[in-house]
Amino acid sequence: MSQVVVDVVLKPEISDPQGQAVLGALGRLGHTGVRSVRQGKHFVLEVDGEPDEAELRQIAETLLANPVIEDVELHLPARTTD
């Protein structure tokens, strides 16, 4: 079994009011050095055997993310050499 991580983030051109609300709260807490916050989703998938990158990309792009508004970052486990 291996673990695959999929991060889903809003496309840069899509405004993120939740991220902006977090940024506003940071400012009120005195963290004035933070310039921008973008909120996203983080999925951890446990899959049987070696992960199939093509299938995982399909999963990420057809269900986990909506390609109209979101981009995906697929993080496959580092391949072990033995």
Partner 1 sequence: MRIGVITFPGSLDDVDAARAVRLAGAEPVSLWHGDHDLKDVDAVVLPGGFSYGDYLRAGAIAARSPLMQDVVAAAHGGLPVLGICNGFQVLCEAGLLPGALTRNSHLHFRNRDQGLLVERADTAWTTSFQPGQRIVVPVKNGEGRYVAADADLDRLEGEGRVVVRYVSTTPGSGVDANPNGSSRDIAGVTSADGRVVGLMPHPEHAVEDLTGPSTDGLGFFTSVLSALVVAA
Q: What residue ranges bind partner 1 (CB under 8 A)? A: 13-15, 17-18, 21, 63-64, 66, 68-69
State the amino acid at position 5 in one-letter form.
V
Distances (CA, A) of 78 to 4, 31, 52, 72: 10, 35, 13, 18
Tokens coding 14: 């899509």
Q: How far is the CB of 14 from partner 1 (least distance, A)?
A: 6
Q: Which is nearer to partner 1, 12 or 49 (CB)?
A: 12
Smallest separation, CB 48 to partner 1 (Å): 22
Q: Given the complex with partner 1, which of 58 and 66 has the nearer CB atom?
A: 66
Cα four-point dihedral sign 27, 33, 42, 65: positive
Q: How far apart are CB 50 and partner 1 at their closest, in Å?
A: 26
